[in-house]
Amino acid sequence: MPPIAVSDNDFETEVLKAKGPVMVDFWAEWCGPCKALMPVVEEVAAEMQGKVKIVKINIDENPEAPTKYGVRGIPTLMIFKDGQLVDTRVGGMPKSQLTQWIESAV
């Protein structure tokens, strides 16, 4: 299952009120490292389906959530569990590192 695109309007429902862990990928269309990370995030989303919900939010189209959570650079990845921010990583990473990070946080 590919990452779910969320907006400021449904961030609360899709992330903060979600049952279980959610990884949020803050990205933008113009961001080279974001584009490089996208296939990795998509692979991990498919492999970890049922363990963690993976969503992405375009910061240019949805400025509220990134501002609220202090996103200063992208890509920024955050893991939420039961509506609470658990961990944050900024920048790209290889698939093995991303998987390990998610598993350690959930």
Catalytic residues: 31, 34
8 Å CB contact between 62 and 11: yes
